[in-house]
Structure 1
Amino acid sequence: FAARSVGLDASSQLDDPFLRADVARFEVDEAAFRLLLERSGDLARRGKVHPAFSSVLKYYGAELNKRRYELLMAAGGAEALEWEGERSRDGELARLWLRSKANSIEGGTAEVQLNVIAKRILGLPGA
Structure 2
Amino acid sequence: WTSYADKADWIFCLVRTDKTNKYQGISFLLFDMMTPGVTTKPIKLISGNSPFCETFFDNVVVPKTQIVGELNRGWDVAKYLLGHEREMISGAGGGDRLNAIGAVVARNGLEDPILRAELAQFDVDALAYACMGEKFLDEAKVGRGHPAQPNMIKYVGTELNKRRHELLMAAGGATALEWDSERTNGGSPSRSWLRTKANSIEGGTSEVMLNVVAKRILELPGA
Supply the distance in 2 between the matched residues of 1:2 and 1:21 (Cα, whole angstroms): 12
**Map of 1:62 onto structure 2:** 158
The amino acid that maps onto 1:70 is E
Residues 22-61 of structure 1: CA distance to partner in whole angstroms, max 9, x if unpaired?
A: 0000000110111111101000001101111111010000
The amino acid that maps onto 1:121 is I
Within-5 A mapping of 1:1-127: 1-2=104-105, 8=109, 14-127=110-223
Higher RCO structure (Cα 8 Å, ≥6 apart): 1
Number of corresponding residues:
120
RMSD between aligned alpha carbons? Answer: 1.3
Which TM-score applies when normalising by structure 2? 0.52
Which TM-score applies when normalising by structure 1? 0.89
Residues 59-95 of structure 1: CA distance to partner in whole angstroms, max 9, x if unpaired?
A: 0000010000000001011211111111111011111
Supply the distance in 1 between the matched residues of 2:126 and 2:161 (Cα, whole angstroms): 9
Structure 1 residue ranges without an equivalent (≥5): 9-13
Runs in 1 of length 4+ with deviation above 2 angstroms?
1-4
Identity rate of aligned residues, in percent? 60
Supply the distance in 1 between the matched residues of 2:146 and 2:106 (Cα, whole angstroms): 43
Supply the distance in 2 between the matched residues of 1:54 and 1:125 (Cα, whole angstroms): 21
Structure 2 residue ranges without an equivalent (≥5): 1-103
Question: Is the helix fraction higher in 1 or 2?
Answer: 1
The amino acid that maps onto 2:179 is W
Question: Is the strand fraction higher in 1 or 2?
Answer: 2
Question: Displacement of 1:2 after TM fit?
Answer: 4.4
Supply the distance in 2 between the matched residues of 1:24 and 1:91 (Cα, whole angstroms): 25
The amino acid that maps onto 1:68 is R
Supply the distance in 2 between the matched residues of 1:2 and 1:83 (Cα, whole angstroms): 21
Supply the distance in 2 between the matched residues of 1:92 and 1:71 (Cα, whole angstroms): 14
